[in-house]
Copies of this chain bind each other. A is one copy, B any other.
Amino acid sequence: MDLTEVASIIGAEFNGISFEITGLNTLKEASSNEVTFVSNSKYIKDIQNTKAAAVIIDKSLKSHIPQGCAALVVDSPYWSMAVLSKYFSPPIEDDQLPYAEIGEGSRVSPKAEIANGAKIGKNCTILAHVYIGAQTVVGDNTIIYPNVTVYRDCTIGNDCIIHANTTIGSDGFGFATNKLGEHKKIYQNGNVAIEEDVEIGSSTTIDRAVFGTTLIKKGTRIDNLVQVGHNCEIGEYCVMVSQSGLAGSTKLGRNVVMGGQSATAGHLEIAPFNTFAARSGITKSIKESGKTFSGFPLMEHKMWLRLQVKIARLLK
C-alpha cells in the first residue's frame, strides 16, 4: 500500500510524493518505509527523532515533525492507527505459500494441521490437533502436545516443550476507544519468539506483539494458566508459576521468579534475580536485583511479614 492510500484510508490530507509503506510501528522503531503515530503529548521528544515515513498526528503536535517526514493530521491518531492496522494484517492462512516443510526424523500426527509456509525442524514430535500457523518456524527436538495452537509468523526454538491447550501468538489485547465508548481493534501484526530450551505448561496464553516481538528467552519455565501480554520480554531462566500474569510490554530480567497468581502491571522493567512471592502485585519497575518481594501493594518480603504482625495486633 502506498502513502497516498494510507492517508486516504484515515481521511488525512497528503500531497507529497507517494511511495510504498510496508507497515506500522512505534515512533522509536519505525523505519523509513513505515508509518507511525503519536497519541499522547508525552512522546513529543520522540517525534523529532523518528525515522518513519509519516506520523499520524493531532494538529496541535504537527510542528514537532522532523523534515522529510510526512504529517498525517487527524482528530484521533490512536483510532486512525487502529483503522489502518487492519490493512497491514496478513491473511490468517495463505494457500499460495508452499506446503509446510517437516524436518528429518520428526513425527507429525496426521490429525495436526501445519499451515502452508510453516517449517518444522528435525526430530520434533507434533501431536494430534496441534495447529502451526503460516510462516511459523519450529526448531529441532521440540515437543508440542495436543491441542496447542501457534499462530502465524512465530518462532519456537530447539528443545522446547509446549504442553496441551496452550496458545502462542494470539492477538494482544489492543483497541482504541472513542468518546462514545466504542472500541476499534488494533490488529496485532507482530509475533512471538521463543528461544531454545523453554518449557511452557498447559492452557497458557502468550500474545503476539502489536508491532515487533513478544520474546521468551532461553531456559525459561512457564507453568499452566499463565498470561503473557503482548510485547513482553522474559529473560533467560525465568520461572512463572501457575496463574501468574504479565501485562503488556513488561520486561523481566533473567532468573526472575513470579509466584503463583502474582502479576505485574504493563510497561515495567524488573531487574534480574528478583523473586515475587505468590500473589504479589507489581505496579512499578524494580532496579535492584536479588531481592524477594510480596504483597499488593508490593513491598520487600520481610516488611510484608512485619506488616502481618502489625495487622494481627489490630485484632486484639
Contacts and interface: CB of A to CB of B under 8 A. Distances in A.
Interface of A: 92-93, 107, 109, 111, 113, 125, 127-129, 131, 143, 145-149, 151, 161, 163-167, 170-171, 173, 175, 177, 181-183, 185, 199, 201-205, 207, 219, 221, 223-225, 227, 229, 236-237, 239, 241-243, 245, 247, 254-255, 260-261, 263, 265, 273, 278-279, 281, 296-297, 303, 306-308, 310-311, 314-315
Contact of A147 (B131, B260, B311, B315): B131
Given A173-B242, A242-B245, A181 B255 contact: yes
Interface of A is mostly: loop
A242 to B, nearest CB: 4
Contacts of A254: 181
Given A205-B202, A263-B279, A165 B146 contact: no
B315 A303 contact: yes
A201 B183 CA distance: 15
A167 B173 contact: no
A265 B278 contact: yes
Given A175-B221, A183-B237, A225-B227, A202 B170 contact: yes
A131 B164 contact: yes
A149 B131 contact: no
Contacts of A243: 227, 243, 245, 263
A83 to B, nearest CB: 14
A217 to B, nearest CB: 12
Which of A164, A182, A199 has the most chain B CB atoms inside 10 A of its CB? A164
A263 B260 contact: yes
B227 A224 contact: yes
Contacts of A306: 315
B279 A223 contact: no
Contacts of A236: 181
